[in-house]
Amino acid sequence: MVTLSVNDLVVRYQSQGKDVQAVDHVSFSCKDNESIGIAGESGCGKSTLGLAIMKTLQGNASVAGEILLDGRSILPMPDTEFTKEIRWKKVSMVFQGAMNSLDPVFTIKKQFEEILKKHNFGGDHKQAIEYAMSSVGLAHSVLDKYPHEISGGMKQRVIIAMALILKPKMLIADEPTTALDVLVQAQIMILLKKLKKEGLSIMLISHDLGIISEIAEKVGIMYAGQIVEFGNMEDIYKNPKHPYTIALLDSIPKLNETKKIIPLKGNPPSLVNPPSGCRFYDRCPQAMEKCKKEPPKIKTASGFVMCWLHE
Ligand code: SF4
């Protein structure tokens, strides 16, 4: 298990001469034995947050703030030290759409070996690869196949096995079920739950709060680069406070309810020049005049909410 603490994290991208504030003063923590979900719509900064923790942001990104993993500050760490001690060994990531990045001209086994070589793994390669394959429920015979010979669900399991090969304590999974059919989605969630039960901490990044609620004890709701609500999953699921969280939950279809899904109108603000007040102002059904000011961070039973309604 691993403890993760993110304090006042800011990530900016320089793009076409413009400064894009992708992650804006984000703080949260995840203790030993906890799994966390980060939810929000496309472009809210949730993937950037995961990439910042893995220190794999592109060259046009600048990062400020602090990320502590088991008490060690990772942002000032040179990349060689991070690769040697942390990346893939303490924390690894299943990147969004990663199953499409499997190289079509190499067998799965060859691609596992590349990872072990890259990380200077000194142990028995065969044993490590077979252990990783077993932990995701794949037969060893899959190792001799090329990516086009296996299904989407198997490819995603291979990607998860690759992320687990050096036995990290934490896995960041970015939209691991997107683009899979519902049955395969359910199988991947069962696998993640099994891995969690075996002691892996999981940070699940998804636009789907329903999926996050299956696995996470804590959740952060991201909107336009900020975490607008954070707390225990159960508290937030049963008693959401921020109007954006309420809208996200209202967008989940429920089998036993005939209630119509209420779409959220409008778009998030531009992150090139975000408004100084509440970023949800233009879409919020409860917006007030004072919401044009930066919303306060109000303490809740298990976290916080950024909204003037809860002042
Ligand atoms: Fe809505 Fe105001 Fe709360 Fe923002 S601060 S979410 S505009 S009520």
> pLDDT tens digits for 41-85?
999 999 999 999 999 999 899 999 999 998 899 999 999 999 999
The tens digit of pLDDT for each residue in 214-254 reads 999 999 999 999 999 999 999 999 999 999 999 998 887 77
Cα of 285 vs centre of ligand 1, distance in Å, is 8
If one counts every other C-beta atom within 10 angstroms of the C-beta of residue 99, the result is 21
Cα of 41 vs centre of ligand 1, distance in Å, is 18
Please answer whether residues 162 and 103 qualify as being in contact, where contact means their C-beta atoms are separated by less than 8 angstroms: no
Give residues with Cβ within 8 angstroms of 80, minimum separation 6.
Answer: none
The tens digit of pLDDT for each residue in 108-155 reads 999 999 999 988 898 999 999 999 999 899 999 999 999 999 999 899
Minimal-distance CA residue to ligand 1 atom 3 = 307
Cα of 270 vs centre of ligand 1, distance in Å, is 17
CA distance 279 to 151: 41
Position in ligand 1 atom list of the atom nearest CA 290: 2
Write down the pLDDT at residue 1.
55
Residue 192: band (very low, low, confident or very high) from pLDDT cuts 50, 70, 90: very high
Cα of 189 vs centre of ligand 1, distance in Å, is 33
CA distance 165 to 129: 7
Taking residues 305-310, report their average pLDDT.
96
Q: Which two tokens stand for residue 64?
A: 């400020």
Top mutation candidate among 241, 242, 279, 281 for ligand 1, by most atoms within 8 Å of CB: 281
Q: Does the structure show a pLDDT above 70 at 2?
A: no
Please answer whether residues 209 and 248 qualify as being in contact, where contact means their C-beta atoms are separated by less than 8 angstroms: yes
CA distance 240 to 213: 13
Q: Does the structure show a pLDDT above 90 at 26?
A: yes
Residue 263: band (very low, low, confident or very high) from pLDDT cuts 50, 70, 90: confident
Cα of 198 vs centre of ligand 1, distance in Å, is 40
Residue matched to tokens 């990439």: 51
- Return left, alpha or beta for 99; rule: phi > 0 is left, psi -120 to 50 is alpha, else beta: alpha
- Residue 87: which of 169, 205, 200, 175 has the closest Cα? 169
Residues whose beta carbon lies within 6 Å of some atom of ligand 1: 242-243, 278, 280-281, 284, 286-288, 291, 295, 307-309
Position in ligand 1 atom list of the atom nearest CA 278: 4
To which H or E segment does residue 52 belong?
A: helix 46-54
Please answer whether residues 51 and 247 qualify as being in contact, where contact means their C-beta atoms are separated by less than 8 angstroms: no
Write down the pLDDT at residue 180.
80
Please answer whether residues 237 and 303 qualify as being in contact, where contact means their C-beta atoms are separated by less than 8 angstroms: no
For 83, 154, 155, 184, 210, the CA distances from 145, given in Å and listed in that order, are 29, 11, 11, 20, 34
Question: What is the overall mean pLDDT for the chain?
Answer: 92
Helix residue ranges per DSSP H, 96-217 = 108-118, 125-135, 152-164, 182-197, 209-213
Write down the pLDDT at residue 210.
87
For 97, 117, 155, 156, 159, the CA distances from 101, given in Å and listed in that order, are 7, 18, 10, 11, 9
Residue 8: band (very low, low, confident or very high) from pLDDT cuts 50, 70, 90: very high
Write down the pLDDT at residue 216.
95
Position in ligand 1 atom list of the atom nearest CA 284: 1
49, amino acid identity: L
3-state SS, residue 287: coil
Please answer whether residues 301 and 234 qualify as being in contact, where contact means their C-beta atoms are separated by less than 8 angstroms: no
Top mutation candidate among 286, 292, 300, 310 for ligand 1, by most atoms within 8 Å of CB: 286
Cα of 249 vs centre of ligand 1, distance in Å, is 17
Cα of 295 vs centre of ligand 1, distance in Å, is 7
Please answer whether residues 131 and 160 qualify as being in contact, where contact means their C-beta atoms are separated by less than 8 angstroms: no
Position in ligand 1 atom list of the atom nearest CA 288: 2
Residues of the chain with pLDDT > 90, as a percent, come to: 75
Angle of the 125-135 helix axis to the 152-164 helix axis, nearest 10: 130
Task: Please state whether the predicted TM-score (pTM) of the whole model is above 0.75.
Answer: yes
Cα of 250 vs centre of ligand 1, distance in Å, is 17
Angle at 88 between CA 87 and CA 92, to 5 degrees: 95
Please answer whether residues 69 and 242 qualify as being in contact, where contact means their C-beta atoms are separated by less than 8 angstroms: no
